[in-house]
A and B are shown apart, each in its own frame.
Chain A
Amino acid sequence: MDLHELNDIAADQRAAQKPCVIRCCMAAGCQSAGSVAVLKALQQAVTEAGKQNTVEVRSVGCLRLCCQGPLVQTDPDQRMFQKVRPEQAPSLVSTLDGRTTDAEPCDPNAPFFALQANVVLVNSGRIDPEQIEHYIAADGYAALARALTEMTPQDVVEAVTRSGLRGRGGAGYPTGVKWSLVARSKGDRKYVVCNADEGDPGAFMNRSVLESDPHSVLEGMAIAGYAVGASQGYIYIRGEYPLATQRLQTAIRQAGRLRLLGTHILNTAFDFRIDIRIGAGAFVCGEETALMASIMGERGTPRPRPPYPAESGLWGCPTLINNVETFANIPQIIRRGPEWFASIGTPKSTGTKVFALTGKVRNTGLVEVPLGTPLRVLVEDIGGGSPSGKIKAVQTGGPSGGCVPAHLLDTPVDYESLAAVGSIMGSGGLIVMDEANNMVDVARFFMGFCMDESCGKCIPCRAGTVQLHRLLTRILDRKATRRDLAVLEQLCGMVKETSLCGLGQTAPNPVLSTLRHFRHEYEALLRDE
């Protein structure tokens, strides 16, 4: 495979494109709503209508408005249908001839779609994630080709640095800085690891990306491998994501067959292989040192840093670890240029962010917006507000994050602004709460999660989260006094400052942020001494 052949594949694919496409969402959300039967019915309807030569029924990734699945979208007339049932397939196909259908329409120009950006999710819901040719026709692997043939590894690192991209796993560490650290680390062998152990309650951003556009992640990893000098990559994906895993496996196989992975990639001297490692259900394995331990076949527990993975990671070798979404951004940064990327978002938080919008909000689903978009736009315009009428708070960052109260909804979604109001960007979980949600109960839910997911290695996290959970339960049972509240606050500070890894260090955040913004709800539950 060389550049010409890659271009040929793209050209062939585009030429073979049928005039009409019916896209049926086959991501996990719509599949669970019955989209497999819908897809089959659509294919049958097209055959029965004798339109096989002009209409392609395409299995695609996430079409974003998950709450209304199964979703179907038609081209070229750009219509969308929601909650589609298999029996509606014949009439739906007939709309391509201008006939009517009883399938429920969905307005693709509604704010939910219109206000979204298309960078990471550009191919999501467009291409068939199981067809590498589709990805190539959408300029896929062109960035890898450019990196390998026109850029030095230093150029690539430089481009990523200039783009201002920051880690999408949550902490927001500048990606370029991380890459240059690994690139500069000495070692014959280096590794690139993709962290796909997405585990925050209510989060499905990475799963959607992997199910919808797995090649973008593979391409991003290969470019990273070239940039830092690694020839082996691992994707650590949680075991609860069988569909994403299967699509990744298919993608890796297809890319290998076309020599876009493996040895002598695109006829260059660059070798890069990607293997999948499947997690066994421990949230803590999303923490990078625990993740590496798990990849190496050890018990998935974190270890103190330094040494950082960039210096000593897998088997003691320099290792680059990035999140799924971080890698998915890379091909576009290389292809469209770092300046283009940096022009999106805010000066310190460039690009877009994918969110999983859930909770007490009308439109739940997958959302991508430029960083710096106010939370209000996300939950009220895109999300359509709360069905009960009044949003109380928005939880960002999962169990490590915090609650942003309604009066701060104009906070722009960027790393610094969210931190300033006591929350974090996190990996992209966004849970909307209304007046029916008691914030102490919310805090206890997340504390229960951290307690269950603590690995048990360090004492503050192992035993501290249990005590915090008990104290919150005491408060909810109206058995706690001011003394207990004081102990709760003290213990939060202790667990935050003394825990070994990020899980424990951030476990008190949901308590601290609800105490900050909703202290009266705690106090209302206290009893007299």
Chain B
Amino acid sequence: MAVRTLTINEKLVSAPEGATILQAARENGIDIPTLCQLDGLSTVGACRLCLVEVGPSGRLQAACVTQVAEEMVVRTETPKLREYRKMIIELLLTERNHVCAVCVANHHCELQDLAVKLGVDHVRFEYLHPHLAVDVSHELFGIDHNRCVLCTRCVRICDEIEGVHTWDVSGRGTNARIISDLNQPWGESPTCTSCGKCVQACPTGAIFRQGSTVAEMEKDRQRLRFLLTAREKREWLV
């Protein structure tokens, strides 16, 4: 396979043709923050956290969907990128009701981790405090829209891995919501197989296992890794 050589943060790295900047960076130990991206799922380039500066003009491009090219020059950590990433997290924190103190995912939450990593110690924007529903009609799981960041990992894992497509998005803009089937209670979903992949994929406490209480819910990402390896390499490694 052809190899492309590019520069990431002044460091020469090589990556196979067709690889994304994100893959090339991670292969070389360079960390780029992500939220909507999850290994094994299609990429949507929606959260914009992985934006990097490309080329002499410093054009911002999403590392998760931009393929490497020969002699490409990439910067992943600039003051501007740090500032923009911080603002993205701040915007997410204002948009819904992310009250870490009372969340099942407290201390096990990717949004919270990102806030720590990106230096968000307060939010400059007004909190919207929308009134949002919690659906616990499913016998095992629940979805709390207060904590949803609309990353659509649940939609994709359900569609692409489980092959069911119980989840989708309805509405638009800040009124967009994750819905099950034809916008009916999750517990009444005729398609949901209760496989729980969405619970593991969800980066926050939005989709959770019932019965877990504050800070109790740890995600088992190994399970997703297992599925991915099984699908891609036909190896069922426990």
Q: Residues of A at under 8 Å CB distance from B?
A: 282, 284, 299, 303-304, 451-460, 462-467, 470, 487, 490-491, 494, 497-500
Contact = CB atoms under 8 A, between A and B. Distances in A.
B161 interface: no
A110 B195 CA distance: 72
A463 B65 CA distance: 22
A321 to B, nearest CB: 20
25 contacts: A282-B172, A299-B169, A303-B44, A304-B66, A453-B173, A454-B172, A454-B173, A455-B172, A455-B176, A458-B45, A458-B48, A459-B46, A459-B91, A460-B91, A462-B150, A463-B92, A466-B128, A466-B173, A467-B91, A467-B94, A487-B125, A490-B87, A491-B125, A498-B48, A498-B60
A373 to B, nearest CB: 32
A311 to B, nearest CB: 13
Return the 10 tightest CB-CB contacts between A and B, nearest first: A456-B176, A463-B91, A454-B173, A304-B45, A463-B95, A467-B125, A304-B65, A498-B48, A456-B173, A457-B46
A284 to B, nearest CB: 8
Nearest to B96: A463
A451 B174 contact: yes
B56 interface: no
Given A457-B44, A498-B51, 9 more contacts: A282-B172, A299-B169, A456-B171, A456-B176, A457-B150, A458-B45, A459-B92, A470-B125, A499-B48
B175 interface: yes
Interface string B103-141: 000000000000000000000111010000000000000
Given A460-B48, A498-B60, A453 B88 contact: no
Contact of B46 (A299, A454, A458): A458
B62 interface: yes
Contact of B173 (A303, A462, A500): A462
A451 B91 CA distance: 14
Contact of B60 (A299, A453, A497): A497
A459 B48 contact: yes
A300 to B, nearest CB: 9
A489 to B, nearest CB: 12
Most chain A C-beta atoms within 10 Å of own C-beta, residue among B65, B124, B173, B176: B173
A499 B87 CA distance: 12
Contacts of B47: 458-459
B93 to A, nearest CB: 9
A452 B88 contact: no
Interface in B58-73: 60, 62, 65-66
B124 to A, nearest CB: 6
Interface string B73-103: 0000000000110011001101100000000
B168 interface: yes
Interface in B1-58: 44-48, 51
Contact of B84 (A456, A458, A463, A497): A497
Q: How large is the interface on B (under 10, 10 to 19, 20 to 34, 35 or more residues)?
A: 20 to 34
Contacts of A453: 172-173
A437 to B, nearest CB: 26
A498 B150 CA distance: 17
Nearest to A499: B48
Contacts of A470: 125-126
Most chain B C-beta atoms within 10 Å of own C-beta, residue among A456, A499, A500: A456
Interface of B: 44-48, 51, 60, 62, 65-66, 83-84, 87-88, 91-92, 94-95, 124-126, 128, 149-150, 168-169, 171-176
B126 A467 contact: yes
A462 B51 CA distance: 17
B44 A462 contact: no
A484 to B, nearest CB: 9
A466 B95 contact: yes
A452 B173 contact: yes
B53 to A, nearest CB: 10
Contacts of A455: 172-173, 176
B46 A500 contact: yes
B125 A462 contact: no
Contacts of A462: 95, 150, 173-174, 176
B81 to A, nearest CB: 9
Most chain A C-beta atoms within 10 Å of own C-beta, residue among B94, B126, B128: B126
A299 B152 CA distance: 13
A494 B169 CA distance: 25
Contacts of A499: 48
A500 B150 CA distance: 15
Contacts of A299: 168-169
A487 B126 CA distance: 11
A303 B42 CA distance: 12
A164 to B, nearest CB: 26
Contacts of A458: 45-48
Contacts of B150: 456-457, 462
Nearest to B169: A299
A455 B65 CA distance: 19
A351 B175 CA distance: 42
A487 B87 CA distance: 10
Given A462-B174, A463-B92, A498 B168 contact: no
A498 B84 contact: yes
A23 B87 CA distance: 58
A139 B40 CA distance: 57
A334 to B, nearest CB: 36
B87 A491 contact: yes
Contacts of A500: 45-46, 48, 62
A464 B124 CA distance: 12
Given A460-B88, A497-B60, A466 B174 contact: yes
Contacts of A282: 172
Contacts of B149: 459
A263 to B, nearest CB: 37
Contacts of B91: 459-460, 463-464, 467
Most chain B C-beta atoms within 10 Å of own C-beta, residue among A303, A456, A459: A459
A452 to B, nearest CB: 6
Contacts of A463: 91-92, 94-95, 174
Most chain B C-beta atoms within 10 Å of own C-beta, residue among A282, A452, A498: A498
Most chain A C-beta atoms within 10 Å of own C-beta, residue among B45, B62, B124, B174: B174
Contact of A456 (B44, B45, B175): B175
Nearest to A498: B48
Nearest to A452: B173
